[in-house]
Chains A and B, each alone.
Chain A
């Protein structure tokens, strides 16, 4: 049973920078896990932000960036806006397009 782990919650000040991480119970996350990141606000469907670790979708603001660091996938938000308050999920693929989501990080902008 593969487990993907994220911080349960984080708080950031408006205009600040915050880093969310995504770890795999199988070991270091590499580019081969094709990490995806999603944002979900209450009552809404998830919205794709990042794919292939660090590629932004056409609709993703430039303040969102993805990377690998210390064996984890990382989502960095720079210049955080109040509207960035949301739940963030990572998704790792383990072959055959079979995915596992992380438990989500609740980001509070305060």
Chain B
């Protein structure tokens, strides 16, 4: 059974940093692109970033470029998202998800349950 479990969320002040983790199980993690998607309170989904199987390619939405870093540790079946210089508009539930068949024919299938990041002073 594919499982994705996010952790590391919480309350952080504007300008602060946080590191989110996503523990994967039930599939061969190193075979898949992975992605982070976020959802601000009461708003829609926003694609944030994705990463190739070996970490050699990473893509970001413009609003987080230079502030967020996606990474992975295939030995530990884990995906990460480093959030720096956080702003109020970064407050959201962050989801990790699996992306089979990327980049030629991408699709997003399994999702984690999400983790809340609150940015407030």
**Chain A residues with a Cβ under 8 A of chain B:** 1, 34, 36, 38, 40, 45-48, 51-52, 57, 87, 89, 91, 93, 95-104
Q: How large is the interface on B (under 10, 10 to 19, 20 to 34, 35 or more residues)?
A: 20 to 34
> Across the interface, which residues of B come within 8 angstroms of A95, CB to CB?
103
Over the window 77-121 of chain B, the binary record of Cβ atoms lying under 8 Å from chain A Cβ atoms (1 yes, 0 no) is 000000000000000000100010011011111111110000000
Question: Could you tell me if A45 and B50 are in contact, using CB atoms closer than 8 angstroms?
Answer: no
> Across the interface, which residues of B come within 8 angstroms of A38, CB to CB?
45, 108
Question: Could you tell me if A46 and B47 are in contact, using CB atoms closer than 8 angstroms?
Answer: no
Q: How far, in whole Å, are A104 and B106 apart by their CA atoms in the complex?
A: 20
> Across the interface, which residues of A come within 8 angstroms of B47, CB to CB?
91, 98-101
Q: How far, in whole Å, are A99 and B103 apart by their CA atoms in the complex?
A: 11
- The smallest C-beta distance from A47 to any residue of chain B, in angstroms, reads 7
Over the window 41-85 of chain B, the binary record of Cβ atoms lying under 8 Å from chain A Cβ atoms (1 yes, 0 no) is 000111100100000010100100000000000000000000000
> Across the interface, which residues of A come within 8 angstroms of B35, CB to CB?
97, 99
Q: 8 A–B contact pairs at CB < 8 A?
A: A34-B106, A38-B45, A51-B109, A96-B57, A97-B50, A98-B47, A98-B50, A99-B35
Question: Could you tell me if B57 and A51 are in contact, using CB atoms closer than 8 angstroms?
Answer: no
- The smallest C-beta distance from B22 to any residue of chain A, in angstroms, reads 12
Count contacts between A and B, CB distance < 8 Å: 67
CB < 8 Å neighbour of A93 from B44, B106, B112: B106
Question: Could you tell me if B111 and A104 are in contact, using CB atoms closer than 8 angstroms?
Answer: no
> Across the interface, which residues of A come within 8 angstroms of B29, CB to CB?
none
The closest CB in chain B to the CB of A40 belongs to B45
> Across the interface, which residues of B come within 8 angstroms of A104, CB to CB?
44-45
- The smallest C-beta distance from A90 to any residue of chain B, in angstroms, reads 10
Question: Could you tell me if A46 and B45 are in contact, using CB atoms closer than 8 angstroms?
Answer: yes
Question: Could you tell me if A45 and B103 are in contact, using CB atoms closer than 8 angstroms?
Answer: no
> Across the interface, which residues of B come within 8 angstroms of A34, CB to CB?
105-107
> Across the interface, which residues of A come within 8 angstroms of B99, CB to CB?
97
> Known contacts A45-B111, A45-B112, A93-B106: does B95 contact A101 (CB below 8 Å)?
no
Q: How far, in whole Å, are A93 and B57 apart by their CA atoms in the complex?
A: 16
